[in-house]
Amino acid sequence: MSTSSPDYIRDLRALIGHLPVNLLGASGLVLNKRGELLLQRRVGTQYWSVLGGLCELGETLEDTRANFGRKRRSRCSGPSC
């Protein structure tokens, strides 16, 4: 299965049938007390991005954004947080 295929959803459905699948994500900007932007390093690359990720099934976009910000801030330590 290739994610670059125009038939990505059809291919995915062929694998999982009618099981629920989440294709919705959220992102947001998180600033620390000094106004610095919090970034996350993308897994497997040297690239950085704003916080974000996939919503859990049944979760709102607002809840997903809030959860990602809360999780990342809880891992932050030092004077920049």
**Domains annotated on the chain, with CATH:** 24-75 (3.90.79.10)
What mean pLDDT is predicted for residues 70-74? 62
Element holding 49 (H helix, E strand):
strand 48-54
Phi, psi of 31 (to 5 degrees): -110, 145
Question: Does residue 1 surpass a pLDDT of 70?
Answer: no
Q: Residue type for 19, please?
A: L
Per-residue confidence (pLDDT) for residue 68, from 0 to 100 = 74
Whole-prediction pTM: 0.52
Question: Does residue 49 surpass a pLDDT of 80?
Answer: yes
Query: Higher pLDDT residue, 49 or 78?
Result: 49
C-alpha dist (Å) from residue 9 to 4, 17, 30, 42, 52: 11, 11, 32, 24, 22
Per-residue confidence (pLDDT) for residue 76, from 0 to 100 = 58
Question: Does residue 78 surpass a pLDDT of 60?
Answer: no
